[in-house]
């Protein structure tokens, strides 16, 4: 894979290729956007493009005169060839000049930042650039962030640091302001379908692409249909006043995301009357039934309440209190809801 193969992120990729063309690659980037939309893939392929051995060779042989040939070489010389030793090593995670850091136990600790400093303290070994990719960079704890700030303030030459984050707001301003931010966008339904087509059975493609909400990566690593069934089962047990059934904070987060999608669907079909706009496109009857006797404002109120809860989950909210609160909210505001 190369930068040109990344689907639906033309603007972000265009900025990266443009920086390479103008020889203005920044020392630090923040790749920001929802999870599962290609940020990490872009970071890896940017690292490949910067260190590609075929590029380096092509750079020296720009033909003159023929504009089209010139352009073709320029394009080739600012992307990964995907075949040279450097590209292959980066893909397999064995390139000595490319370091990947990702959080352990939801935290990037100061030890990891020390690894970055150590890696950057040497000149590139095989490639032309030392590259550090920090995945889920928002998981840096305070001491890691402070140490990292020093690295960003005095970036070593021939080095590029790429922070990848789906929650860039959680990063300190001091770090964000020292990075060039490249924003990745959620993908269109058709781009999602294109990306997941190989992984998902044809008959489920439409529904799974919709459930992925523009983040095809999620549909590749998780079974969206199984997850949605799990959500509906828990919703029913919640409305029957059963005890909380979330096994972890991750499950709480995901369940809240899915109830928000369902509430969004109920509101959308009430407002527009167009079932084609649904995410849960296979649940039209249930959605019509749920929304039947309620005003849109009540549904929006429930949505906003649960969204506030979802946003505060990282403060370690109590699981069963949260469960009971959402249950009573849904039963009180949307009284007709029952299993
Ligand atoms: Zn290459």
| 18/160 same-domain check | yes
Tell me the DSSP string of 134-193. ETTGGGB-HHHHHHHHHHHHSPPTTEEEEEEES-GGGS-HHHHTTSEEEE--PPPHHHHH
Lowest mean pLDDT of 68-72, 102-106, 152-156, name the range.
68-72
Q: Is 28 contained in some domain?
A: yes
Distance, CA of 219 to CA of 213 (rounded, Å):
9
| 167/232 same-domain check | no
169-221: per-residue pLDDT in tens? 999 999 999 999 999 999 999 999 999 998 999 999 999 999 999 999 989 88
| 229/176 same-domain check | no
Between 233 and 240, the more confident residue is 233
What is the extent of the structural domain holding 244?
223-333
Residue 336 has pLDDT above 90, yes or no: no
Q: Is 150 contained in some domain?
A: yes
Residue 272 confidence (pLDDT): 92
219-238: per-residue pLDDT in tens? 988 899 999 999 999 998 99
Residue 149 has pLDDT above 90, yes or no: yes
| 63/148 same-domain check | yes
Q: How far does the centroid of ligand 1 lie from the alpha carbon of residue 77, in Å?
A: 10
Q: How far does the centroid of ligand 1 lie from the alpha carbon of residue 69, in Å?
A: 20
Residue 339 confidence (pLDDT): 44
Q: How many folded domains does the chain comprise?
A: 2
Q: How far does the centroid of ligand 1 lie from the alpha carbon of residue 159, in Å?
A: 18
Residue 61 has pLDDT above 70, yes or no: no
Q: How far does the centroid of ligand 1 lie from the alpha carbon of residue 15, in Å?
A: 20
Q: How far does the centroid of ligand 1 lie from the alpha carbon of residue 255, in Å?
A: 42
């Amino acid at each position: 894979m190369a930068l040109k193969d990344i689907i639906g992120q033309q603007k972000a990729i265009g900025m990266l290729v443009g920086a390479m063309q103008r020889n203005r690659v920044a020392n630090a980037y923040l790749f920001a956007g929802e999870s599962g939309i290609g940020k990490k893939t872009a970071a890896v392929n940017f690292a490949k493009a910067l260190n590609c051995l075929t590029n380096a060779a092509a750079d020296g042989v720009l033909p003159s005169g023929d504009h089209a040939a010139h352009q073709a070489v320029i394009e080739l010389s600012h992307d990964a060839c995907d075949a040279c030793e450097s590209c292959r090593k980066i893909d397999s995670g064995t390139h000595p000049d490319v370091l990947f850091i990702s959080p352990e136990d939801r935290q990037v600790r100061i030890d990891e930042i020390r690894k970055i400093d150590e890696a950057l303290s040497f000149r590139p070994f095989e490639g032309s650039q030392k590259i550090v990719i920090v995945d889920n960079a928002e998981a840096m704890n305070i001491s890691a962030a402070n140490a990292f700030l020093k690295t960003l303030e005095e970036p070593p030459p021939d080095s590029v640091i790429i922070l990848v984050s789906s929650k860039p707001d959680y990063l300190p301003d001091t770090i964000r302001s020292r990075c060039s931010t490249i924003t990745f966008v959620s993908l269109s339904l058709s781009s999602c379908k294109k990306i997941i087509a190989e992984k998902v059975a044809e008959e489920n493609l439409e529904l799974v692409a919709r459930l992925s909400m523009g983040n095809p990566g999620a549909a590749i690593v998780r079974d969206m249909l199984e997850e949605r069934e799990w959500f509906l089962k828990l919703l029913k047990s919640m409305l029957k006043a059963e005890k909380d059934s979330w096994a972890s904070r991750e499950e709480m987060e995901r369940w809240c995301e899915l109830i928000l999608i369902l509430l969004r669907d109920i509101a959308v079909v009430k407002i527009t009357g167009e079932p084609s706009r649904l995410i849960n496109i296979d649940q039209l009857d249930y959605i019509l039934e749920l929304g039947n006797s309620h005003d849109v404002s009540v549904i929006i109120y429930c949505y906003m309440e649960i969204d506030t809860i979802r946003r505060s989950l990282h403060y370690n909210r109590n699981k069963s209190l949260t469960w009971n609160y959402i249950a009573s909210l849904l039963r009180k505001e949307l009284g007709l809801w029952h299993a």
